[in-house]
Chain A
Amino acid sequence: MKKALEIALGIVTSVGGFLEIGSITTAAQGGASFRFQLIWAILLGGLCLIFLVEQSGRLAAVSRHTITDAIRERFGFNYFIFLLIILSLVILLVLGAEIGGVCVALEFITGVGFQWWAVPVALLIWLIIWKGTFSFIEDGASILGLVTVCFLVAAIVLHPPWKEVAHGALPTLPASDKAHYWFIVVSILGASISPYLMFFYSSGAVEDKWDESYINANRAISVLGMSFGTVLSVAVLIVSALVYLPRGIQVEHYSQLPLMLIDAFGYWGFILFAASLGIACLGATLEITLEIAYMVAQGFGWNWSENQRPREEARFSLVYTVIIILGALLVVVGIDPLKLTIFSMALTAATLPVAIVPFLFLMNDEAYMHEHRNGFLSNAVVIFIIGMTFVLAVVTIPLEIFGGG
C-alpha cells in the first residue's frame, strides 16, 4: 500500500514537474510555425527521456550511487571535472532562463518589468532551499505544477482536428523554412532530454533511500510520469497551432505567450498561463539549483543532502547560494528570457553526448548494476540516443546561425 502511494506520488510529481520554460516555449514555437508537424519531435524526446530516467533511477536503486558519483568513480576525476564544467555552464544558462520564466510570469500579472523581479525571486528560491527538505521541494513544487494540466484541457476544449494531430506523430518536412524547422526540432529535443533531469532523478532516488525493491516502482514512475508529461507538451503545441498559426502570430517574444489560453478560458486563461509558467519555472529552478550543487558536492566528496541542516553541509549550501546569484544575474542584466531559453535548449542538445556516453557504460557495468544491467532494447535505445545527440552536437551551432532567427 505504501509503495502504491509512493508510485502515485512519483507519477504526480513527474507530471507536475514536467513542463518548464524550455518545453513550453519550444512547443509553442513549433505549433505557431509548423502547426502539428513537430509533434513527432516531442514524442521522440519524451520516449528518449523515459528510457534515460528509468535507467537513472535503476542505477541509483541498485548501486546506491548517483550518476555523478558513479561517473567520478568509474571514469576518474579528470573526466568528472570536464563533465562538471561543460554541464554546469549549460545548466547555469538553463537556470537563468527558468528564473527569467518566474520573473516574466510576475511581469504578466503586475506589469512591473521582469528584471525587477530577479532579486526577490532569487531570494525566494534560496529561502525555499535553505529551509525546505527534499520531499517538500520536490512534492510541493510538482503538486502545484499540476496547474499545467490546463494546457491539456485547453487542447481538448479547442477541438483540434484529431486526425491531423495524429499525422503529426510521423516526421514530415515542411515546404519552406527547413533550417528553422530543424532548429526547433533541436530545441525541442534539448528541452526534453535535459541531462539535469536524469542527474536530479538519480540524486532524488538516493535522497529517498531507494533500493532494489524500488525497481518496478521506478519503472512505473518513469514510464507513466514522463508519458503524461509528454502529453502536456504535445497539448501546448496543439493549443499554439490552433491559436497563433491562423492569426499569423510567430512566437518571438515572451509577451506573446499568455495569449495562448485566452481562446479556451478567457480572462482565466491569462491568469492560468501566468500561474502555470511561474510555478513550472519555480519548480525547475529549485531542481536545477539543487542539481548543480549535488554535482559539485558529490564529485568532490562533500556532505550533500537537502534533508540536512545547512550548517552540516556548509560547502553544499555555499555552492547553491553562488549558483542562485549567478543565475539571477543573467536576468538582472536584462537578457531576454525567451532568447536565453532557446539558446540554452539548443546548447543542451549540443552537450548531451558528454553526459550520455559514460552513462551507457555504467548501465552495462556489472560492478554497479549486478543482474540489473541494461537489456538489448535499453542498450539499443541509448545507442540510438547517443547517435542522435552526436548529430545534434554537430548541427546545433550552424542551425543556431541559419535557423535560429
Chain B
Amino acid sequence: MPVMLNETERSCAKNIRLRLLLLILLASLAACSSQSPADKLHKELRTVVSWAATSRMVGEALQNGKVLQGYAARTFEAAGRNLQEESRTIDKSADIPAEERAGAQAQIARLEQIVGQLKSMVEGKDNAALSQQVEQLKVEEQSLKSSLRGDSSQP
C-alpha cells in the first residue's frame, strides 16, 4: 500500500536528500585531495622545482639582457621567501619519514643559498658572476627533478 507523505514530511525528505548530495560532493572532493606522505612530499618538491626553474629562467634572462635588474632582484627575493616557506611546511609534516624530510630540506637549503647569492649579485650589479650561480642552480634543479621522477616511478 503506498504511503502518503504530508507537506512537512516531503520537505524534510527533500532537505535530507540535498544534505546527502552535498555530503557526497564534499566527500568526493576530499577523496580527490587526500594525500599520502609520499604525495605530500612530491607536491612540495614540485613547488620547490618550480621556484628553482623560475630563478634559473630569470638568471638566464638577466644574463642575456631580457629582463630588468629590479624585476630580477624582486623575483629572487620572492623565490627565497617561498623556498623558506616550503622548508617550513616540510618540517611541519610529521607524517613524511624523517630521512626524506632531512634530504628535501638539505636540497632546499642549497637552493636558498644560491638564490640569495643571485639576489646579492643583482643588487651589487655584479652580472659577470651570475653565470656560475646559474649553472649551480641548474645542477640542483636537475637533481631535484630526477629525485621527483624517481619518486613518481615508485609503486
A residues with CB within 8 A of B: 107-113, 178-179, 182, 247-250, 252-253, 255-256, 258-259, 262, 266-267, 269-270, 394-395, 398-399, 402-403
**Residue numbers in A under 8 Å from B57 (CB-CB):** 247, 249, 259, 262
Q: Which residues 69-112 of B sit at the A interface, judged by CB distance below 8 A?
A: 69-71, 73-75, 78, 82
Closest B residue by C-beta to A178:
B32
List 17 other contacts, CB 8 Å, given A249-B57, A252-B47, A403-B33: A109-B68, A110-B70, A111-B68, A111-B71, A248-B49, A255-B54, A255-B78, A259-B54, A259-B61, A266-B66, A270-B66, A394-B25, A395-B29, A398-B25, A398-B26, A398-B30, A402-B30
User: What chain A residues lie within 8 Å of B121 (beta carbons)?
Assistant: none
In angstroms, Cα B101 to Cα A100, docked, is 36
Q: Across the interface, which residues of B come within 8 angstroms of A262, CB to CB? A: 57, 61, 66-67
User: A178 contacts which chain B residues (CB < 8 A)?
Assistant: 32-33
Return 27 A-B CB contacts under 8 Å, by A number. A108-B71, A109-B68, A109-B70, A110-B70, A111-B68, A111-B74, A112-B70, A113-B74, A179-B29, A248-B50, A248-B145, A250-B47, A250-B50, A252-B50, A255-B74, A256-B75, A258-B71, A259-B61, A262-B66, A266-B64, A395-B29, A398-B26, A398-B29, A398-B30, A402-B30, A402-B33, A403-B32
Which B residue sits closest to A256, measured CB to CB?
Answer: B54
Complex Cα gap A395–B74 (Å) = 36
Interface size on B, residues (CB 8 A): 30
CB of B10 closer than 8 Å to a CB of A: no
Shortest C-beta distance, B73 to chain A (Å), equals 7
Q: From B26, B33, B75, B145, give the contact of A255 (CB < 8 A).
A: B75
Most-contacted residue by chain A among B33, B49, B53 (CB, 10 A): B33
Which residues on the A side are within 8 Å of B82 (C-beta)?
A: 252-253
A250 touches B46 (CB 8 A): yes
Contact B50 A255 (CB under 8 A): no
CB of A210 to closest CB in B, whole Å:
42
CB closest chain-A residue, reference B34: A402
The answer, yes or no, to whether B65 is at the interface (CB within 8 Å) is yes
- Is the pair B73, A111 in contact by a Cβ cutoff of 8 Å? yes
When the two chains form their complex, are residues B50 and A399 in contact, meaning their CB atoms are under 8 A apart?
no
Given contacts A179-B29, A402-B30, A402-B32, contact A249 B66 (CB under 8 A): no
Q: Is A269 in contact with B75, judged by CB distance below 8 angstroms?
A: no
Give B72's nearest chain A residue, CB to CB.
Answer: A111
Shortest beta-carbon distance, B122 to chain A, in Å? 10
Instruction: Flag whether B58 is at the interface (Cβ < 8 A).
Output: yes
- Minimal beta-carbon separation of B99 from chain A (angstroms): 24
Contacting pair B65 A267 (CB below 8 A): yes
B residues in contact with A250, CB < 8 Å? 46-47, 50
From residue A96, how far is it (CB to closest CB) to chain B in Å? 20
Report Cα–Cα, A112/B32, bound state, in Å: 41
Which B residue sits closest to A255, measured CB to CB?
B75
Q: How far is the CA of A108 from the CA of B58 in the complex (A)?
A: 12
Does B129 belong to the interface (CB within 8 Å)?
no
Cβ–Cβ < 8 Å partners of A248 in chain B: 46, 49-50, 53, 145
Bound-state CA distance A164–B22 (Å) is 36
Contact of B53 among A107, A112, A249, A398 (CB under 8 A): A249
Instruction: Find the A residue at minimum CB distance from B82.
Output: A253
Q: How far does the alpha carbon of A394 sit from the alpha carbon of B78 in the complex, in Å?
A: 34
Q: A157: shortest Cβ distance to chain B, in Å?
A: 15
Indicate whether A270 sits within 8 Å of B67 (C-beta atoms), given known contacts A248-B46, A250-B47, A395-B29.
yes
Contacting residues of chain B (15-60) with chain A, CB-CB under 8 angstroms: 22, 25-26, 29-30, 32-33, 46-47, 49-50, 53-54, 57-58
The CA-CA distance from A298 to B18 in the complex, in Å, is: 37
Q: Is the CB of A107 within 8 A of B25?
A: no
Query: Could you tell me if B50 and A402 are in contact, using CB atoms closer than 8 angstroms?
Result: no
Contact of A249 among B22, B26, B50 (CB under 8 A): B50
Smallest CB-CB A-B distances: 9 pairs: A111-B70, A402-B33, A179-B33, A255-B75, A250-B50, A178-B32, A247-B53, A179-B32, A248-B49
CA distance A314 to B68 in the complex (A): 44
> From B73, which residue of chain A is reached at the shortest CB distance?
A111
A141: min CB distance to chain B, Å: 24
Q: A250-B46, A250-B47, A394-B22 are in contact. Are A107 and B74 (CB under 8 A)?
A: yes
Kindly identify, within residues 104 to 143 of chain B, every residue whose CB is under 8 Å from any CB belonging to chain A: none
Q: How far is the CA of A255 from the CA of B58 in the complex (A)?
A: 10
Q: What residues on B are CB-neighbors of A253 within 8 Å?
A: 78, 82
